[in-house]
Amino acid sequence: MKFSDEFEARFAEMVPHYPTKRSALVPTLLYAQDEVGFLSDEVIAELASRLELTELEVRNVISYYSMLTTEPRGKFNVQVCTNISCMVRGAEEILHHCARRLGIGNKQTTPDGLFTLEEVECIGACSWAPAAQVNYDFHENLTAEKIDGILDEYKKRGTQ
Amino acid sequence: MTQSPNHKILMADVNLTVDGKKVTAPAGTLLIEACKTVGIEVPSFCYYPNLSLQGACRMCLVKIEKMPKLQTACTTVISEGMIVTTDSDDVKQARKSMLEMLLGNHPLDCPVCDAGGECELQDMTFSYGAAESKFMEAKNHKDEQQWSPVVFFDRPRCILCYRCVRVCGEGMDVWALGVQNRGVSSLIAPNKKDHLECEECGMCIDICPVGALTSGAYRYKTRPWEMTHVGTVCTHCGDGCKTTLGVRRSDTGMEIVRGDNRDKSGTNGDFLCIKGRYAFDFANHEERLTQPLIRKNGKLTPSTWEEAFELVGKKFAEVRDKEGGSAIGVIGSTRTTNEEAYLLSKFARVVLKTNNVDHHRTADFPALSAALRGKPDATASMADVFNAPAILLIGNDPTEQHPLLAWQIRNNVRLHRAKLYVVNSQTIKLRRQATSFTQIPLGTEGKVASFLSGDEAAADALVSASSDNGSIDKDGWIALRDKLRGEQNLVIIFGSEIRANDISSLVRFGAGISGAKFICLADYSNSRGAADMGLYPDLLPGYHPLAGTSDFHQEWSVAQAAGLDLANMVEAGKKGALKALYVVGSNPVGRLDIDPFAFSNSFVVVQDMFLTETAIMADVVLPAANAYEKAGTMTNTCGDVQLVKKAGEISGTKSDFEMIVRIADAMGFDVRKLVPFGGGTRADMGQSRGAQSGEADRHAVWLEMQGLEPKLSPLDPMAILDEIQRLVPGYQISRPNLLAGNSEHTSLTKSGAGAAHNPESIAPANDTLFTSGTLGRYSRTLQSVLESHEVKPAEVAAD
């Protein structure tokens, strides 16, 4: 299968950094996921052959990490932290609010394919709890109103 | 520390103290193994000898002085002055806690679990566990899954020791199992998402300490304690694995319900392939013959044994007396015991007075015997393959055709870093373990032998036009040969592609390498025995040519002229010159493409389990017992002899041994001259009952060890074993060792001169992992696996 030139450049640069090929697996998976949107069977087969692993080994690694997925996600992956700091600052409510607002549950995707909602473990933003992460962007000190604004903004961006 | 198997370095000893006991073991020993040497058991689930270390189950935690926390004995290497405690209160508490955690998600369905009664988790809980659990949480449940016709997975029972993952990858080089997810939701996963694509060996099931992996062949059939276990030799390929058959009473005798080798007896240890583990089920097939059949008015009709033996005896005697013995043909089996093969060979020559004797040949042992004559220790045993510093494999695909040999090679490379040289026309799987893999054009294996023995011109045929990955040029071949010449104790293994003169070339090449030994690969469980016992038209047992002298010539007073081989028997049959044909446990019509009408004018007697293509055209069919239903010995392709024990029984069948004796008897022959029974020791054997009952046993054991126990009837195969050991060169092996269940290597050093046969007379079986000649067709397990492997999901949607 074909990846972008940028991916190929990164991959070529990365592999010789490690003593064994398989060590490059986790970052490669992340780059591939960013590019394709999820880790399809095709991606898995391709990376397995490139890194001389069995497809099973690649799947095992993917299933170990919650940030890697073999299912397609929405354009924006809304990851709401519900670990201790966020929880005591009202993260549960934020999560429920998102679920009501988007009309989907945990790890589900809106019919328009824009949003996926996910409850995640600590994202390291405890000082600004409650926090959420949309794709790679952080949103902090959340309230219901604030999250509405954020989701509106993404919706606008996604439908333009 | 690197350790070359060529120069085994004796590691310095290390002294330590375990529970106050002084322990001395070589440096590098794992603590858990060192404890074993002084009788201290450290419990563990994930630790398994010869597999990589895991340290997952935490059952082997012990206290080591000066170390802050409890340590896993399975990953700790011993060191000088180490002071270890394995029975302190905190160690005991740690074990209890580990078991409590393992049982937290365990369904405790022991009353219906296959492993119940032989479960390591049960045993550990009994020995080290807590009686109560503090867990209140609901148990994780997942429904049972079927991964293949033979492999079922019950997730809740799994304790995540990863033994299955490691034995599949490291031991089998299949890598079909992995671990999905993490933490409490980890689970063992098959390589094709919801099913397995693998060699179906069942090692994962066998090695599972609990009942998480169960077999389609055995699950929910019985309880372990309801079976009797009989260790015998597998009846499929020529490797001679020990298999322990679990049997129980059934309506028709003794039914075999399970095969494994958990006691690790035999060279194969706990290894078995799908055939040894599951393909015993042909024995219980409903098409099994249980009554003699006689052709009456053109139809095979059930009869009594008396009628059948009387008819066969009368007819055979008639033909012999009127037409001479040369009008009778005899085809022997590659799956009967040595005693039966020998007896048949003797029966043909002594009773039927014919040398028209042959069998389905799958390797050229007479040529090997001729080439190795007079050379001591020139054959390698199956055990040698695991320990040899270097191995040369020419032809064959052991992964498919000799699974144990492949296991021995693979694990020798993995554990001892043996050097493996593979020369093959195909990219066989064992190339993955090879130090050097060389691909040759199809059918040029013989040229390899010529080239190695010094015929430089032969190399031209080996250099293929297409420059494949594995093919090399002439200089490459010369370099390879130089490298091989520099090896020591090289084991040279070759498939049936190499025959006749090519074998002597290879032996000449081996003569220049110090300690070189040979293995010639044949396809069936007793192909080697059939050859050793003289099922040839021109050779007597021990490869003695008919046109020569030997003990047999004196004892049997045989005619010196060679008889007809199989091809010539067919020709004689077509001409009407072959008046009678006696086929014992062979299916030449089905397996060797013989015209079924060739013997229309002959009186044909077939002994078999099923109405095979050969049996269907017979005049008399006698229902035979198979190798799992009789006693005797078998010789594997390397020449290792092992004891065959009776495990199963189907009423209405007889062993080939008994049938041969009874036919001789029906012909009016004095069976004492056929089977040397009687003549045992008659004396006061002491008391067999009461307080001194052991006395009789002690007498019996000693006599048995010397081969002197009374042979009470002509149906006792041990009487023929006595004769084999007396007369067949190379079979002068240790009887006590054999009876103890070990394999005893025979030698060809003192064999007869052998013979130069037409290379075309060898017909390889070409069996795969999932086929086994005619037998395989009657194994439901093999058939279901074959079907499941044929159905491949479509790669692309049809539209």
Q: Mean pLDDT, to the nearest integer, of A138-146?
A: 96
Length of chain B: 799
Same domain membership, residue A154 and residue A80: yes
Same domain membership, residue B431 and residue B376: yes
Query: What residues in A contact B165, CB-CB < 8 Å?
Result: none
Task: Specify if A70 maps to a domain.
Answer: no
Q: Which two tokens stand for residue B541?
A: 């047992």
Complete edge-to-edge strand list for the sheet that includes strand A115-120 = A108-109, A115-120, A76-81, A132-134, A137-139
Residue A34 pLDDT grade (very low, low, confident, very high; cuts 50, 70, 90): very high
Query: What residues in B contact A54, CB-CB < 8 Å?
Result: 175, 178, 191
Same domain membership, residue A103 and residue A33: no
Name the residue of chain B whose CA is nearest to A56's CA. Answer: B191
Same domain membership, residue A139 and residue A99: yes
* CB-CB under 8 Å, B189 with A60: yes
B189–A contact, CB cutoff 8 A: yes
Closest CA to B536 of B366, B763, B721: B366
Q: Say how far residue A4 (Cα) sits from the centre of its chain.
A: 19
B180–A contact, CB cutoff 8 A: yes
Within 13 A of A152's CA, how many CA atoms are on the CB side?
Answer: 6
Q: Say how far residue A124 (Cα) sits from the centre of its chain.
A: 15
Q: List all residues 6 or more positions away from B380 whose beta carbon is below 8 Å from its beta carbon.
A: B388, B491, B493, B517, B518, B519, B638
Query: What CATH number is associated with residue B190?
Result: 3.30.70.20
Q: How many angstroms away from the CA of B181 is the closest CA of chain A?
A: 5
Same domain membership, residue B646 and residue B497: no
Same domain membership, residue A82 and residue A60: no
CA-to-CA separations, A137 to A38, A125, B701, in angstroms, rounded: 18, 12, 82
Complex ipTM value: 0.84
Query: What CATH number is associated with residue B15?
Result: 3.10.20.740
Q: List all residues 6 or more positions away from B339 whose beta carbon is below 8 Å from its beta carbon.
A: B632, B633, B657, B717, B718, B720, B721, B724
Query: What residues in A contact B181, CB-CB < 8 Å?
Result: 63-64
Same domain membership, residue B668 and residue B549: yes
pLDDT score at B688: 62
Query: What residues in A contact B191, CB-CB < 8 Å?
Result: 54-56
Angle of helix B89-104 relative to helix B120-128, nearest 10 degrees, comes to 140
B597–A contact, CB cutoff 8 A: no
Task: Specify if B146 maps to a domain.
Answer: yes
Residue type, A40: S
Query: What CATH number is associated with residue A51?
Result: 1.10.10
pLDDT score at B195: 95
Length of chain A: 160
Same domain membership, residue A98 and residue A58: no
DSSP type of residue B614 = T
SS3 at position B679: coil
pLDDT score at B684: 62
* CB-CB under 8 Å, A56 with B177: yes
Distance CA B489, CA B504 (A): 19
Query: What residues in A contact B182, CB-CB < 8 Å?
Result: 63-64
Same domain membership, residue B415 and residue B396: yes
Task: Specify if A141 maps to a domain.
Answer: yes
Same domain membership, residue A83 and residue A39: no
CB atoms within 10 A of CB A61: 18
CA-to-CA separations, B127 to B41, B63, B610, B708, in angstroms, rounded: 11, 19, 49, 45
Closest CA to B565 of B556, B557, B573: B573
pLDDT score at B294: 98
Task: Specify if B302 maps to a domain.
Answer: yes
Query: What residues in B contact A53, CB-CB < 8 Å?
Result: none
Q: How many angstroms away from the CA of A145 is the closest CA of chain B?
A: 36
Structural domain ending residue among the three candidates B472, B497, B520: B520
Distance CA B291, CA B286 (A): 13
Same domain membership, residue B164 and residue B109: yes
CA-to-CA separations, B427 to B448, B537, B673, in angstroms, rounded: 17, 38, 53
Task: Specify if B65 maps to a domain.
Answer: yes
Q: Which two tokens stand for residue B742?
A: 């070990």
Same domain membership, residue B717 and residue B666: yes
Report whether the peptide linkage leading into residue A130 is cis, meaning its omega lies within 30 degrees of zero.
yes
Q: How many angstroms away from the CA of B179 is the closest CA of chain A?
A: 6
SS3 at position B741: coil
Q: List all residues 6 or more positions away from B721 whose beta carbon is below 8 Å from its beta carbon.
A: B338, B339, B632, B633, B707
Complete edge-to-edge strand list for the sheet that includes strand B71-72 = B21-26, B13-18, B83-85, B61-64, B71-72
Same domain membership, residue A154 and residue A120: yes
Give me Rg for the CA atoms of chain B.
Answer: 29
Name the residue of chain B whose CA is nearest to A63's CA. Answer: B181
Task: Specify if A71 maps to a domain.
Answer: no
* CB-CB under 8 Å, B182 with A56: no
Q: Which two tokens stand for residue B251?
A: 């309506």
Same domain membership, residue A27 and residue A90: no
Same domain membership, residue B208 and residue B107: yes
Task: Specify if B447 maps to a domain.
Answer: yes
Q: What residues does B582 pair with on adjacent strands?
A: B330, B605
Complete edge-to-edge strand list for the sheet that includes strand B253-260 = B228-233, B242-250, B253-260, B649-650
Structural domain ending residue among the three candidates B490, B520, B550: B520
Give tens-digit pLDDT for B584-623.
999 999 999 899 899 999 999 999 999 999 999 999 999 9
Give tens-digit pLDDT for B266-301.
999 999 999 999 999 999 999 999 999 999 999 999
Query: What residues in B contact A55, CB-CB < 8 Å?
Result: 191
Closest CA to A95 of A129, A55, A44: A129
Closest CA to A131 of A77, A95, A99: A95
Name the residue of chain B whose CA is nearest to A66's CA. Answer: B181
Task: Specify if A69 maps to a domain.
Answer: no
B165–A contact, CB cutoff 8 A: no
Same domain membership, residue A94 and residue A146: yes
Task: Chunk chain B into consecutive blocks of 10 residues (it has 799) and report each block's average pLDDT, rounded to whole numbers.
Answer: 46 92 95 96 96 95 96 97 96 95 92 95 93 85 94 96 97 96 92 94 97 94 94 97 95 94 92 96 96 97 98 98 97 98 98 97 97 95 98 98 98 97 96 96 96 94 70 92 97 97 97 97 98 97 94 91 96 96 96 92 98 97 97 97 96 97 97 85 62 73 82 91 96 94 95 94 95 95 91 49
Distance CA B703, CA B712 (A): 14
Task: Specify if A83 maps to a domain.
Answer: yes
Structural domain ending residue among the three candidates A17, A41, A64: A64
Name the residue of chain A whose CA is nearest to B184's CA. Answer: A64
CB B369 within 8 A of CB B576: no
Task: Specify if A118 maps to a domain.
Answer: yes
DSSP type of residue B772 = B
Query: Which candidate in A63, A64, A65, A67 is best for mutational testing of the B interface (most B CBs within 10 A)?
Result: A63
B514–A contact, CB cutoff 8 A: no
DSSP string, B412-452: HHHHH--EEEEEESS--GGGGG-SEEEE--TT-HHHHHHHH
Task: Specify if B756 maps to a domain.
Answer: no
- The model's pTM is 0.92
Chain A residues within 8 A (CB-CB) of chain B? 54-57, 59-60, 63-64
**The domain containing residue B376 runs over which residues?**
365-520
Closest CA to B751 of B301, B242, B256, B376: B376
Query: What CATH number is associated with residue A155?
Result: 3.40.30.10
Same domain membership, residue B104 and residue B25: no
Query: What residues in A contact B175, CB-CB < 8 Å?
Result: 54, 56-57
Q: Mean pLDDT, to the nearest integer, of A2-11?
A: 95
Query: What residues in B contact A63, CB-CB < 8 Å?
Result: 180-182, 189
Task: Specify if A110 maps to a domain.
Answer: yes
Q: Which two tokens stand for residue A66?
A: 């919650």
Distance CA B451, CA B502 (A): 10
* CB-CB under 8 Å, A59 with B180: yes
Same domain membership, residue A93 and residue A51: no
Structural domain ending residue among the three candidates B151, B181, B215: B215
User: Into how many domains does chain A fold?
Assistant: 2
* CB-CB under 8 Å, B181 with A59: no
Task: Specify if A59 maps to a domain.
Answer: yes
Q: How many angstroms away from the CA of A151 is the closest CA of chain B?
A: 31
* CB-CB under 8 Å, A55 with B180: no
Name the residue of chain A whose CA is nearest to B179's CA. Answer: A60
Same domain membership, residue B129 and residue B67: no
Structural domain ending residue among the three candidates A14, A33, A64: A64
B178–A contact, CB cutoff 8 A: yes
Distance CA B87, CA B695 (A): 42
Same domain membership, residue A84 and residue A147: yes
User: Into how many domains does chain B fold?
Assistant: 4
Same domain membership, residue A143 and residue A94: yes
- In which residue are the tokens 């070759």 written? B494
Q: How many angstroms away from the CA of A142 is the closest CA of chain B?
A: 31
CB B602 within 8 A of CB B578: yes
* CB-CB under 8 Å, B179 with A59: no
Same domain membership, residue B564 and residue B471: no
Distance CA B357, CA B566 (A): 8
Query: What residues in B contact A59, CB-CB < 8 Å?
Result: 178, 180, 189, 193
Closest CA to B458 of B506, B493, B420: B506
**The domain containing residue A12 runs over which residues?**
5-64
pLDDT score at B4: 42
Same domain membership, residue B654 and residue B540: yes
**Cα-flanking dihedrals φ and ψ of residue B685, to 5°?**
-90, 10
Same domain membership, residue B58 and residue B159: no
B174–A contact, CB cutoff 8 A: no
- In which residue are the tokens 């300690």 written? B515
